[in-house]
Amino acid sequence: MTTNQNPQNTPDSPAPQNMVISWVLNAMGAPVVALLIYIGGLATLIAETTAWVWRSVALRRVRLGRRGLYTQITRVGIHSMAVIALVSGCIGVILALQMAPPLDTFGATDSVATIVAIAVVRELGPLISAIVLTGFAGASIAAELGTMVVGEEIEALEAHALNPIRFLVVPRLIATTISMVILSIFAIIVAIGGGHIIGVLILDITSATYYNHTVAALDLTDVLTSLWKAGVFGLILGAVACYNGLKVTGGAAGVGRATTYTVVHSIVLIVISDLIFVALFYRLGWT
């Protein structure tokens, strides 16, 4: 006499929990692989750009167009200064107004200058500049390069033995990096100036007192780490914008997607890199 066994109860059938784990791993596999491919593409693009810059500056084998670089710095940096000034000034005013009441409780209203200086120089100056520049210039770079891809202009460059990395990516990456550092300095000055206006006009802090507290709160390490972060943020922004722009597919709709992805990816990577920098600087005792 034979007995029918349920296949689900046989020793060879997988347990339900193993099936769930397998499904989760399969579901996570594709996004993880896509993320690794994306990061690898960014790293490759940065490496190729660095190689071209090295050949131009150190080995002097190729020339980088100064006119194109100047044009990109003008478009990326100078045209963003008004927006950076507005946002940074508001940040300085907001910080001063928000910190004044609790500090006044302890009779330390003068310390508003200290808090504004530390917050702006160490963190908000580079970060706010990066976020503003992402929406202002990053999207523009991605859209421009994406339109060139759709219009087959990249293929035309390659057909004439012109490397797109050298002529399109290198000037934009250098421009975003240099512009980010300069704009961060500009943003820091404007934000501290905004806090100074509130301190003098509303909080009855003298200009000399505000200046002395600001200078006493900062040292050279704060400034150097801030500029270092700004340069890395600019490099990330330029790499993401150029990479997404050059990988456009699907016509005009693809250009729109590349623009959106550039803004989102840049902000996420910039914030993550900022977190890494803060943790590293804290570990090294630079904060």
Residue 167 has pLDDT above 50, yes or no: yes
> What span, in angstroms and rounded, lies between the C-alpha atoms of 233 and 266?
9
30 pLDDT more than 80: no
Please report whether residue 13 resides in a domain: no
- Residue 159's pLDDT band (cuts 50, 70, 90): confident
**Tens-digit pLDDT profile for residues 195-226:** 999 999 999 999 999 999 999 999 999 999 99
Query: Is 36 part of a structural domain of the chain?
Result: no
- Read off φ and ψ for residue 208, nearest 5 degrees: -65, -45
Encoded tokens for 132: 């503003």
196 lies in which domain range?
65-284
Token pair for residue 61? Answer: 């084998």
In a domain, 74, yes or no: yes
H-run or E-run covering 231: helix 220-246
Q: Which two tokens stand for residue 203?
A: 């909080």
- Contact status, residue 159 vs residue 205, Cβ threshold 8 Å: no
Q: Is residue 43 part of a domain?
A: no
Query: What is the pTM for the complete model shown?
Result: 0.85
CA 50, chain centre distance (Å):
18
Domain count for the chain, please give it.
1
Q: What are phi and psi of 13, to 5 degrees?
A: -75, 140
Residue 1 pLDDT grade (very low, low, confident, very high; cuts 50, 70, 90): very low
10, part of any domain: no
Beta carbons of 180 and 129 less than 8 angstroms apart: yes
pLDDT in tens, 70-103: 888 888 888 889 999 999 999 999 999 999 999 9
20 within some domain: no
- Find the helix or strand (DSSP H, E) in which 246 lies: helix 220-246
**How many whole angstroms from its chain centre is CA 172?**
14
Cα dist. 187→31, 191, 217, 228, 230 in Å?
A: 36, 6, 18, 15, 11
H or E segment and range at residue 178: helix 170-201
Structural domain contains residue 47: no
Q: Is the pLDDT of residue 36 over 90?
A: no
In a domain? residue 114: yes
Largest CA distance in the chain: 102
In this structure, are residues 226 and 122 in contact, taking their beta carbons and an 8 Å threshold? yes
